[in-house]
Structure formats: C-alpha cells, structure tokens
Chains A and B, each alone.
Chain A
C-alpha cells in the first residue's frame, strides 16, 4: 500500500543550527512534493514545491531536496530560530491533476 512517513517524534535543536526533516514514501511515483508549516490551532501554510525532475529547491533559509531513487525528501532550515518551531508536513501528488496525500508531520522545537 502507499505510505508517506515522517518522523512522529519531535525534533529538538538549538537556535542557530540547521534543522533537517525527512519525508519518506513507498509505492508512489509523485509528480511533485510539497512542504507545509502548521502552527498549533492553525491551518497548514504552503512553503515549497519541488518537482520530480528537480533535485533541490531553495527559498531564503529553507532548502528542499528530492531523491526519487531513495524515495525521500529532506527539508532543511538553516540558522534556525525559535520562531521556526512548528509542525512541518510533506505532501505528495501522483501527477499534476491528482490529489495531495499528506504525511503525519514532524514537530520541530528550536530552543534559544
């Protein structure tokens, strides 16, 4: 069966360090992958999209990689800040017209 896995345990890091979150998937051939941020009591907010033919995407302090051979995406936040503390969700789409399927999310805690 199709599965998207994100580490359900919280990731705790020190301010200024790089946070790396993982999204693994099985039985998918996604056309693209998205990352969202969700704060407590709020809806998810879109951050980045990376397509199957792209290896890496950057936006300010954020970087996403996409390895279709390993079936894995890594989400990096460099120079992390306490304000980066949130839950981060990955989402896959089989093809351009298909629905998104979300992973369970990983909670990031950045300590000052």
Chain B
C-alpha cells in the first residue's frame, strides 16, 4: 500500500522555467491538498480539491495552478518559476473534508535559481 506518492523527489529549476509536480493516492480518498513548507512558516495550503472535479484556492495560490486529473491524481503546476517558490512541497489526501485526517507524501524539494 503506497499511500500518497509524489514525483519528483528533487528538482532544480531556473527562473522562468515551468514544471508540474505529480501526486497520486491509492486510498480512494475524495479530498487532496497541496502545501508548501518553508523554515519557520509551517505548512501553508496552496490549493485543494474537495472532490473529483473541483479545485479551490488555499492560503498562498499565486504563481500556481492545479489539476484534479481523476480521483487518484492531483498535480501542481508552476508556470514561470520564481526564486520565492523555492520550498518543499507536500501533497496530502483525506477521506473527505469532514473526515480530515490527512495522509502526506514524502515531499518534493524544489530549488529555483
């Protein structure tokens, strides 16, 4: 049982480059989330998807887009990367928003030069 799988684990980008972070869960969860974690800032919600077919902005959505491809997969796209987007990105899933115990992936460490 893999849980939540994120790819890639590490990435280095140049300013202005684009990339997509992939996330998949095999727990049949309805809700999925993207967070970023910066030193001293804790986890901050970027976007979430309460259920398949819906996405909503979180606390820090600027510079990002998301796609809920199907129930399993939720991707995060950086269209034009900036150094301020250097961070560790975590994907999480939960059974639903009401049963909001979250299961996290191992993270993607992104550096934007």
Contacts between chains A and B (CB distance < 8 A), count: 53
- A71–chain B nearest beta-carbon distance, Å: 17
Asked, given contacts A42-B106, A43-B107, whether A99 binds B45 with beta carbons under 8 Å apart, the answer is: yes
Partner of A93, one of B35, B92, B100: B100
Q: Which of A44-52, A56-64, A72-80 contacts B (4 or more CB under 8 A)?
A: A44-52
For A103, the chain B residues whose CB sits under 8 A away are 42
The CA-CA distance from A99 to B45 in the complex, in Å, is 9
B43 touches A44 (CB 8 A): yes
Asked, given contacts A96-B98, A98-B97, A99-B58, whether A43 binds B104 with beta carbons under 8 Å apart, the answer is: yes
Tally A residues with Cβ within 8 Å of B.
23
Tally B residues with Cβ within 8 Å of A.
24
For A43, the chain B residues whose CB sits under 8 A away are 4, 90, 92, 104-107
A96, closest chain B residue (CB): B98
B103 interface contact, C-beta 8 A: yes
In this complex, the member of B4, B43, B45 whose beta carbon has the largest number of chain A beta carbons within 10 angstroms is: B43
For A46, the chain B residues whose CB sits under 8 A away are 101-103
A residues contacting B by CB (< 8 A) are 4, 8, 34, 41-46, 49, 89, 91, 93, 96-105
B residues contacting A by CB (< 8 A) are 4, 33, 35, 40-45, 48, 58-59, 90, 92, 97-98, 100-107
